[in-house]
């Protein structure tokens, strides 16, 4: 809720050099997962309405409010919250379980544990969430019954195979796995160091918040080029058959990256750096500190219950 306006601004800044056609879809990421949004198509649920021309973060902030109203800064929030629940549950549950399993094999202090656990848990979360995201997008794009949805998905699978439900998986993994690996490695290391200096065994809310902010900022800055590429890659599943793009096939992550560099230079791969850092840093901090606090709280509750019983 707090960082959604920065999601909107970041996507507008990245996409203004590669505007989306009316009626099409595109992907953006909020630090936790991908979300597919629909361009203007006469539906009130359309997310991307006006390409605009923005000089920077504050310029975009002011122009969006003036031209579209302040509510536009929270576009796409409801479906974001709906998809956040299963994705976050899978992501954090897998990370904790994999961490415990690796500790028994590699030792508790092994620095490879957060890298391996973070990478594998993100792979699992992305793989599970991708088909759900595409199905939800189809339901947003046009009101359909579950029977019609089943027919639509079945025909798509029959035409392009099951792999079509995971389109964009590779570029998502290329961005999210390094992000998760760097994030968890830096987070666990900073948390351990700060706990040692503070003389505590468990991270306080402030320690978790600070560690999450720093580690999220580092990971976001390094993986930004792949986030830019994902913004430029227009997903064309579920769109009208009347819209044809002969270049859509075979447009790989690397091809899009080369195109961005050729058009805007190497700096084009780092478009939206400021709003991404401003968004991902607090998002990661709020996410991990709340999670650590909740985990500690329920752990103490369980201990009291066990003592009583």
User: Are 272 and 16 contacting, i.e. CB atoms less than 8 angstroms apart?
Assistant: no
Question: Residue 239's pLDDT is what?
Answer: 38
The per-residue pLDDT for 166 is: 74
Kindly report, residue by residue over 133-160, the tens digit of the pLDDT.
666 555 544 445 556 656 766 776 777 6
Residue 195: pLDDT band with limits 50, 70, 90: very high
The whole-angstrom separation of Cα 73 and Cα 239 is 25
pLDDT value at 27 more than 60: no
Chain segment 38-69, per-residue pLDDT in tens: 555 554 444 455 556 778 778 888 888 888 78
* Alpha-carbon separation of residue 269 from 137, 227, 254, 265, 276 (angstroms): 27, 9, 12, 8, 13
* Residue 268's pLDDT band (cuts 50, 70, 90): confident
pLDDT at position 250: 45
What does the pLDDT average to over 179-196? Answer: 93
Q: Tens digit of pLDDT for each residue in 204-219?
A: 899 999 999 999 999 8
Say whether pLDDT at 29 is over 60.
Answer: no
Q: Which two tokens stand for residue 160?
A: 């392009």
pLDDT over 70 for what percent of the chain? 68
- Flag whether pLDDT at 4 surpasses 80: no
Average pLDDT over residues 90-102: 93
Highest mean pLDDT among 186-190, 244-248, 260-264: 186-190
Cβ neighbourhood burial of 216 (10 Å; 0-12, 13-18, 19+): buried
Question: What is the pLDDT averaged over residues 112-129?
Answer: 91
């Amino acid at each position: 809720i707090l960082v959604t306006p920065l999601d909107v601004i970041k996507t507008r800044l990245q996409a203004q050099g590669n505007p989306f056609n009316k009626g099409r879809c595109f992907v953006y990421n909020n630090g936790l997962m991908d979300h597919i949004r629909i361009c203007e198509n006469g539906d009130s649920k359309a997310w991307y309405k006006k390409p605009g021309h923005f000089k920077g973060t504050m310029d975009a902030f002011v122009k969006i409010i003036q031209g579209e109203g302040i509510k536009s800064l929270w576009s796409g929030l409801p479906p974001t919250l709906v998809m956040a629940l299963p994705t976050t549950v899978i992501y954090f549950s897998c990370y904790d379980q994999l961490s415990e399993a690796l500790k028994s094999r590699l030792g508790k202090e092994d620095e490879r544990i957060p890298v391996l656990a973070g990478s594998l848990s993100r792979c699992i979360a992305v793989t599970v969430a991708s088909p759900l995201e595409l199905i939800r997008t189809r339901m947003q794009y046009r009101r359909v019954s579950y029977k019609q949805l089943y027919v639509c998905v079945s025909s798509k699978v029959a035409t392009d195979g099951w792999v079509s439900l995971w389109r964009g998986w590779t570029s998502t993994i290329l961005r999210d796995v390094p992000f998760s690996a760097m994030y968890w490695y830096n987070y666990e290391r900073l948390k351990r160091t700060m706990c040692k200096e503070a003389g505590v065994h468990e991270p306080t809310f402030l320690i978790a918040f600070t560690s999450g902010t720093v580690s999220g900022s580092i990971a976001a800055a390094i993986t930004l080029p792949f986030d830019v590429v994902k913004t430029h890659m227009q997903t064309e599943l579920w769109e009208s058959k009347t819209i044809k793009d002969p270049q859509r096939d075979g447009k790989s992550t690397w091809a899009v990256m080369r195109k961005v560099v050729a058009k805007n230079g190497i700096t084009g791969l780092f478009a939206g750096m400021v709003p991404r850092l401003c968004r991902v840093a607090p998002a990661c901090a709020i996410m991990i500190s709340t999670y650590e606090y909740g985990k500690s709280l329920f752990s103490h509750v369980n201990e009291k219950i066990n003592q009583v019983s």
